[in-house]
Amino acid sequence: MELIKKLCNAYGPSGREHAISKLIRSEIQDYCQDVQIDRLGNLIAHRPPASEKKSAKIMFCAHMDEIGVIVTHIDKNGFLRFTRIGGVFPDSTLYQRVQFEHGVIGVIGVETKKETPKPPELNNMFIDIGARNKAEAEKMVTIGDIASFHQEFTSINKRVSAKALDDRIGCYCLIESLKKIKNNKDNLYFVFSVQEEVGLRGARTGAYAIAPQYALAVDVTDTGDTPESPRMDVAVGKGVAIKVKDSSFISNPMINDKLIAYAEKMKIPYQLEILEAGTTDAAIIQLVKEGVVSSVLSIPTRYIHSPNEVCDLDDVQCTIKLLISVAEEGIE
Annotated binding site for Zn(2+): 63, 166, 197, 219, 305
DSSP class per residue in 272-292: EEE-SS---THHHHTTSTT--
Where is the binding site, in residues?
63, 166, 197, 219, 305
Contact assessment for residue 10 and residue 4, using Cβ atoms and an 8 Å cutoff: no
Give CA separation, 97 vs 80, 90, 107, 140, 300, in Å.
13, 13, 4, 16, 25
Whether residue 196 lies in the annotated active site: yes
Catalytic residue of the set 17, 27, 176, 196: 196
Give CA separation, 81 vs 70, 108, 140, 181, 219, in Å.
8, 10, 14, 47, 31
Q: How many CB atoms lie within 10 A of CB 83?
A: 12
Pick from 110, 240, 113: nearest CA to 173: 240
Q: Where are the beta strands (DSSP E) in the chain?
A: 34-37, 43-47, 57-63, 68-74, 80-85, 97-100, 105-110, 125-128, 146-149, 154-156, 159-162, 187-193, 214-221, 240-246, 249-250, 270-274, 293-302, 309-312
Dihedral (CA of 292, 188, 56, 263) sign: negative
Pick from 272, 273, 292: nearest CA to 283: 292
Helix (H) / strand (E) element for 20: namely helix 18-28
CA 150 from chain center: how many Å? 17
The residue type of 112 is T
Tell me how far apart the alpha carbons of residues 234 and 312 are, in angstroms, rounded to a whole number. 13
Would you name the residues annotated as active-site residues?
196
